[in-house]
Amino acid sequence: MSIRLDDVNKRIIHALMNDARDTSAPMIAEEVGVSPATIRNRIDQLENAGVIRGYHANVDFETADEMITTLYVATVPIEDRARLVQRARTITGVINVREFMAGKRNLHVLAVGSDVESINDVARELTELGIEIDDEKFVRTEQFQAYHPFGPAETHQQFSDYISLAGGNEVIELTVDDDAPIVGKTLRRADEEGLLEGDLLVVSIERDDEVLTPTGKSEIRAGDLLTVLSRDGFTDSVLAPFESATE
């Protein structure tokens, strides 16, 4: 299953990378401008697609029990790498195995032990598997942070994704503001009142955990995530019906 990382998905990933334990769907929804149900649905999609592969505690083993954390830099034959990675993960004390696209030093193994002897046991078992250890280092600290480009923009951006198509057509995703002029109106009424400028077409409406196919009777609500196509481009006046009147 593949999934496109639009702005909403990127903001979800950024928030969860910052603090998955204390970040709730309503908190992310408030920051992004969509409903909590949409956030929960998007998280499920990201997990099912394998983009979010799990949630892990960042443990300081030295603080917890004065344990030793060691990084082994190793080399394994490319043709055996996948098999040896799986075998290395079963060794007691190994907490992380990372592969690299290289011929030499193409494997990093992170291990924790209560003393030097237990760390040496890990090294011995790695060697017995046929993993050539090139270097080993005691790890002092390890810091994690969210991927900044997935975070909120410095300036307000009404649309969350943009695609330019052949023939001058443009497609964007945008979130409808709470007090936008189009809120509470059907697409037919919005068109009759002249709110929808130019050759504008609402392609889809994402609301809660559903993706709706718009018709003239579809009513636009605050927080709806719309996919919109325009043959005339997106000017401020074209976007105005979807934005807060106070902006």
Q: What does the pLDDT look like over 225-234, one tens digit per residue?
A: 998 888 777 7
Q: In this predicted structure, which of 36-40, 167-171, 238-242 has the lowest mean pLDDT?
A: 167-171
CB atoms within 10 A of CB 46: 18
Residue 43 pLDDT > 90, yes or no? yes
Q: Which CATH architecture has domain 7-55+146-150?
A: Orthogonal Bundle (1.10)
Q: Which three-class secondary structure state does DSSP give residue 227?
A: strand
Taking only the tens place, the pLDDT of each residue in 46-80 is 999 999 999 988 888 888 888 999 999 999 999 99
Per 3-state DSSP, the chain is made up of helix, strand and coil in percentages (nearest 5) of 35, 25, 45
Residue 165 pLDDT > 70, yes or no? no
**CATH 3.40.50.620 for the 159-242 domain, yes or no:** no
Average pLDDT over residues 76-91: 93
Residue 156 pLDDT > 50, yes or no? no
Residue 154: the pLDDT is 46
Residue 171 pLDDT > 60, yes or no? yes
Residue 163: the pLDDT is 55
Residue 247 pLDDT > 80, yes or no? no
The beta strands (E) that lie in the chain are given as: 68-75, 94-99, 107-113, 132-138, 159-164, 170-175, 200-207, 210-212, 225-230
* Strand order across the beta sheet in which 170-175 lies: 159-164, 170-175, 225-230, 200-207, 210-212
Residue 160: the pLDDT is 53
Residue 92: the pLDDT is 96
> Could you state, in order of their start, the residue ranges of all structural domains in the chain?
7-55+146-150, 61-138, 159-242
Among 32, 29, 28, 7, smallest CA distance to 17 is for: 28
pTM over 0.75? The answer is: no
Taking only the tens place, the pLDDT of each residue in 112-139 is 999 999 999 999 999 999 999 999 999 8
Residue 198 pLDDT > 70, yes or no? no
Equal CATH topology for 7-55+146-150 and 61-138: no
Residue 56: the pLDDT is 86
Residue 216: the pLDDT is 92
pLDDT-above-70 percentage for the chain: 91
**CATH 3.40.50.1820 for the 61-138 domain, yes or no:** no
Residue 241 pLDDT > 80, yes or no? yes
Residue 237: the pLDDT is 84
Question: Tokens in use for 183?
Answer: 């809120």
- How far is 87 from 90, CA to CA, in rounded Å? 6
